[in-house]
Structure 1
Amino acid sequence: MNPIYEKVQAKHTQSVQVRPYQLSHFDIPYHYHPEIEIVYFKEGIGKVFVEHAMVSFEPGSLFVFGPNVPHLFIEDKTITNQNIEILVIQFELNALGSYLELPEFTNVKDLMNNAHSGIKFSDLVNSQIPNILDKMQNELGLDRFLKLPYLLELLKLHHHSVLINTFKKKITESLTPKRLRHVNHYILQNYNGEVSLNSAAKIAHMNKAAFCRFFKKHTRKSFGEYVNDMRIDYSCKLLIEGSLNISSIGYEVGFNSVPYFIKQFKRSKGITPKQYRLRNLVGL
């Protein structure tokens, strides 16, 4: 499933948009937009997908998505009459301008770099962050804008956070980023079809044996394992969405054999796709 571009309706009088929402379910498709987005959950339980990775959300969760990072929220459909209450903050990176080059903004700049992988923050109850979010919602103009870098600074210093799309993080932190970035692009463009070790090695300008050693050194997995795990992570999203049967999902994410898809899924997740779908549907 390809992400859909979402045009954010910006108010020209405000560089930082703050919008509260109360929902019974999410109806926004898998999407991306150039604006940086912060989503804080006051109420609600479910899953969030960032490209090929998945984490849960619950009351008190906060997410930061960098520019053009595809993401999707799915509520837990086993909870009847669920109330989802969120606060969404959106702003363009250029709103921070040259401030990001100042030494005082080092933490903010680091946070913005990590946001390209998507970040989840938890255990915010005893921090100042919820209070700042409420103030930003109720303020306008310069008062709201000046709280943005302070919020980002506190988030960077918060100890309870995880990168969601760790695949992208591993690739970009490689000692030889250019080769792996090119291979990464090839995999992301073709993972749901044919992904060839020969083609990947050629893209890296290496012979197959050298490339296999190189790839495993930097990802700690063989090339085949890495591609399969990416396919499995994407299949998890499709299993929870529930619109396709298991056989169709296997083919959709690039496996040519349903038994092989089930075998690889069990290797990666420890349970079968059917068990995974049932576990998430009944909230076990």
Structure 2
Amino acid sequence: MEKQSFSYNYVRLFPKEQIGLHRQSSWELTFIVIGSGIKLIGDTTEPFQSGEVVIIPPDIPHCWYFNGNNTNTEGKIVNITLSFTNEFLDRCSLSFPELHRYIEDLKKNQEALKYNRSQSVTIASILKSMYKQNEVERLSSIIRLLAILPLADKTHIVGKYKERDRKQERLDMIRVFITCNAYRNISLDDVVRHVGMNKSAFCTFFKQSIGKTFITYLNEYRIERACQLLKQENISISEICYHVGFTDIPYFNRVFKKHKGCSPSQYRCEQ
């Protein structure tokens, strides 16, 4: 089988099947068809929504953590990813002089970029049309894209390269996992499995890195989230309790008072 010069993937999977933090030597153009959550790209962590189109240069670590609240009728998220290498871009530049300036502009960029709404609609339309195309037809669509991709609005930077740091990557994975899953009942086994460590090593690593246990850190995060929700008068305290991941209201009240020095109702009255 001949080596492909690019890779096109129309992905449908359950949120739990998402790929963890990774990096590759190719460019990655991603269109979120259905889904939302938190994306971690290089040095930046921020939310994403359906319709978003992002291009990531080679060697920038990244991951997309989808939540379970935005899926298709099968409970799956949907995205399209087109990958191509710098070698592919160089061959295109040599073969098609008309593309040279566009490709050089694209290769100069070292930051992950999110396209604005109008650019995203144009790029998404081409990516969706590629689903039913053969490899030669897809190649012609990529040529169309190469004249568009360098036109990203530079104010929409969503991540920069950072040196590989295994410790920091693990901490980033843990933080994003908590952000995406704090609303549900998280066990220590869940996060240990997510980062690929055994339980004893994880507990030692986390305590040395953060200065507190995982459960303490998780509870602090949930209480801070609860404080934000308590400022909204239309949400009851019991609803907030379950929304931030606690399953027992008395326990929620005790943890809240331990961290804030007052009960949730007192905190709300003082706001």
Give the TM-score category using the shorter length.
0.5 to 0.7
Distance 2:135 2:157 in 1: 31
> What residue identity is the alignment partner of 1:105?
H
Residue aligning to 1:44: 35
Q: CA deviation at 1:103?
A: 7.4
Equivalent position to 1:73, from 64, 69, 80: 64
Residue aligning to 1:110: 105
Distance 1:46 1:119 in 2: 17
Distance 1:74 1:19 in 2: 18
Secondary structure of the corresponding residue to residue 22 of structure 1? strand
Distance 1:76 1:89 in 2: 22
Secondary structure of the corresponding residue to residue 107 of structure 1? helix
Aligned partners of 2:36 and 2:47 also within 8 Å = yes
Distance 2:21 2:148 in 1: 29
Q: Deviations over 1:165-207 (max 9, x none)?
A: 24x4xxxxxxxxxxxxxxx75xx54875xxxxxxxxxxxxxxx
Residue aligning to 2:24: 33
Secondary structure of the corresponding residue to residue 11 of structure 2? strand
Q: CA deviation at 1:232?
A: 8.7
Aligned partners of 2:51 and 2:120 also within 8 Å = no
Distance 2:224 2:154 in 1: 27
Equivalent position to 1:84, from 77, 80, 89: 77
Distance 2:107 2:147 in 1: 10
Distance 1:107 1:133 in 2: 19
Residue aligning to 1:196: none
Are residue 15 (structure 1) and residue 5 (structure 2) matched?
Answer: yes
Aligned partners of 1:36 and 1:92 also within 8 Å = yes
The count of corresponding residues between Structure 1 and Structure 2 is: 204
Are residue 240 (structure 1) and residue 179 (structure 2) matched?
Answer: yes
> What residue identity is the alignment partner of 2:49?
E
Q: CA deviation at 1:38?
A: 1.4
Aligned partners of 2:26 and 2:83 also within 8 Å = yes
Q: CA deviation at 1:234?
A: 6.8
Equivalent position to 1:120, from 114, 131, 156: 114
> What residue identity is the alignment partner of 2:149?
L
Aligned partners of 1:53 and 1:233 also within 8 Å = no
Q: CA deviation at 1:90?
A: 1.7
Residue aligning to 2:14: 24
Equivalent position to 1:144, from 120, 138, 144: 138
> What residue identity is the alignment partner of 1:237?
V
> What residue identity is the alignment partner of 1:92?
T
The TM-score with structure 2 as length reference comes to: 0.58
Distance 2:87 2:158 in 1: 24
Q: CA deviation at 1:135?
A: 2.6
Are residue 61 (structure 1) and residue 52 (structure 2) matched?
Answer: yes
% identity of equivalent residues: 16
Distance 2:224 2:3 in 1: 47
**Rg larger in structure:** 2
Secondary structure of the corresponding residue to residue 156 of structure 2? strand
Aligned partners of 1:33 and 1:69 also within 8 Å = yes
Aligned partners of 1:239 and 1:246 also within 8 Å = no
Distance 1:22 1:63 in 2: 18
Equivalent position to 2:88, from 95, 100, 105: 95
Q: CA deviation at 1:61?
A: 0.6
Q: Deviations over 1:19-52 (max 9, x none)?
A: 2122221332212222222111111111111133
The TM-score with structure 1 as length reference comes to: 0.55
User: Equivalences for 1:145-184 in 2 at 5 Å?
Assistant: 145-159=139-153, 162-166=156-160, 168=161
Aligned partners of 1:111 and 1:156 also within 8 Å = yes
